[in-house]
Structure 1
Amino acid sequence: MRRHVLATDIDPSWLKAGDGYEVHRHDVAADPPPEPGTFDLVHARLVLVHIPDRARALATMAAALRPGGRLLVEDADTALQPLACLDDSGPAQRRANRLRDAVRELLTRHGADLRYGRTPPRALHEAGLVDVAAAGSFPVGGPACDRLEAATIRHVRGEPLAAGLADDAEIDAHLAAVHAGELDLTLAPLISAWGRRPAEHPPALG
Structure 2
Amino acid sequence: MVLLHLPDRMRVLERLVGALRPGGWLVLEEFDCGWTPVLAAPDHEAQALFERVHAALLWLLENAGADPLWGRRVRAAMARNGLVDLTATTYAEAWPGGSTGITLHRHNVDQVAEGLVAAGIKPGELDSFRALLEDPRFVVNSYPLISVRGRRPSGRTDR
Smaller-chain TM-score bracket: 0.7 to 0.9
For 1:76, the equivalent position in structure 2 comes to 31
Q: How far does residue 91 in structure 1 lie from its aligned partner after superposition?
A: 1.9
Q: What does residue range 9-88 of structure 1 map to in structure 2 within 5 Å?
A: 46-79=1-34, 81-83=35-37, 85-87=38-40
Q: Does 1:182 align with 2:134?
A: no
- When the two chains are superposed, the root-mean-square deviation of aligned CA atoms in Å is 2.1
Q: What does residue range 132-147 of structure 1 map to in structure 2 within 5 Å?
A: 132-142=86-96, 143-147=99-103
CA distance in structure 2 between the partners assigned to 1:196 and 1:107 by the alignment = 30
For 1:20, the equivalent position in structure 2 comes to none
For the residue of structure 2 that corresponds to 1:185, the secondary structure is strand
CA distance in structure 2 between the partners assigned to 1:108 and 1:82 by the alignment = 17
Q: Does 1:159 align with 2:119?
A: no
Q: How far does residue 82 in structure 1 lie from its aligned partner after superposition?
A: 4.7
**Structure 1 range deviating more: 69-78 or 99-108:** 69-78
CA distance in structure 1 between the partners assigned to 2:62 and 2:118 by the alignment = 16
Cα deviation per residue 1:5-36 (whole Å; 9 max; x = unaligned)? xxxxxxxxxxxxxxxxxxxxxxxxxxxxxxxx
CA distance in structure 1 between the partners assigned to 2:132 and 2:69 by the alignment = 29
Cα deviation per residue 1:93-127 (whole Å; 9 max; x = unaligned)? 22111111110111121122233222222221222
- Give the conservation status (yes or no) of the 8 Å contact 2:92–2:144: yes
For the residue of structure 1 that corresponds to 2:141, the secondary structure is coil
For the residue of structure 1 that corresponds to 2:102, the secondary structure is helix
Across the two proteins, how many residue pairs are aligned to each other? 153
- Give the conservation status (yes or no) of the 8 Å contact 1:145–1:186: no
CA distance in structure 2 between the partners assigned to 1:196 and 1:128 by the alignment = 9
Over 3 Å off, 4+ runs:
86-89
- Give the conservation status (yes or no) of the 8 Å contact 2:36–2:141: no
TM-score (structure 2 length as normaliser): 0.83
Q: Structure 1 regions of 5+ residues with no counterpart? A: 1-45, 202-206
- Give the conservation status (yes or no) of the 8 Å contact 1:145–1:185: no
Q: Does 1:148 align with 2:104?
A: yes
Q: Does 1:126 align with 2:80?
A: yes
Q: What percent identity do the matched residue pairs reach?
A: 33
Change (3 A) 1:150 1:115: closer
